[in-house]
Amino acid sequence: MRTHLAGLLVALVLLPDVSLAQTGPGNASSVNHGGRAFGRVEKLEGVYFTNFENSVFTPCAGPACEAWADKIGYNVDCRPELCAELERRIVALNGSHDTWALFAVTFYGRRTTRTYPKTSLHDRGQSFLLEHVGDFRLLEMQN
């Protein structure tokens, strides 16, 4: 599926930053989560796609985001409280988690230090451990 960001802008809603982890861009240590090693905290802007069965975060900026589906993306991992907050943001902007939506985001988190064997068809073989949700704007959604 190819999505064009230049299409209809359904809504532009800015929600306040939410941080459930006391980490920030200055935290240089690496961590293990779910049996995987993650590097230091980074601030990444990009596109977050989600639908009823999978999601992907693709770091990109500006016009490069128009071809987000062709770029390397990450599975999103997070602690239960932060995943629940991310879900609430999705539903607040999209009305449901059962339909697909595309968001412009600023995420703070950690990338896996190496790829891993894929466990499903939509697995990207690499993950982003989300630690803070910054900007979160709806770009496009299923009609």
Cβ neighbour number for residue 54 with a 10 Å cutoff: 15
Question: Which residue did the predictor score with more confidence, 9 or 85?
Answer: 85
**Rounded mean pLDDT, 97-108:** 89
Under 8 Å between Cβ of 46 and 136 = no
> Does residue 8 register a pLDDT over 60?
no
> Does residue 89 register a pLDDT over 80?
yes
**Rounded mean pLDDT, 43-69:** 85
Q: pLDDT tier at 106 (50, 70, 90 boundaries)? A: very high
From residue 89, give the alpha-carbon distance in Å to each of 4, 19, 35, 58, 71: 22, 13, 27, 18, 24
Give Cα 120 distance to the centre of its chain. 18
- DSSP-based three-state secondary structure for 89: helix
- Residue-level pLDDT at 108: 95
Q: pLDDT tier at 81 (50, 70, 90 boundaries)? A: very high
**How far is the C-alpha of 66 from the C-alpha of 83, rounded, in Å?**
26
For 78-126, where are the alpha helices, taking DSSP H only? 80-94
> Does residue 5 register a pLDDT over 70?
no
pTM of the full structure: 0.74
> Does residue 11 register a pLDDT over 50?
no
> Does residue 45 register a pLDDT over 90?
yes
Q: Which residues pair with 132 in a beta bridge?
A: 108
**How far is the C-alpha of 142 from the C-alpha of 59, rounded, in Å?**
22
From residue 74, give the alpha-carbon distance in Å to each of 6, 14, 38, 116: 23, 23, 12, 12
pLDDT > 90: percent of the chain: 28
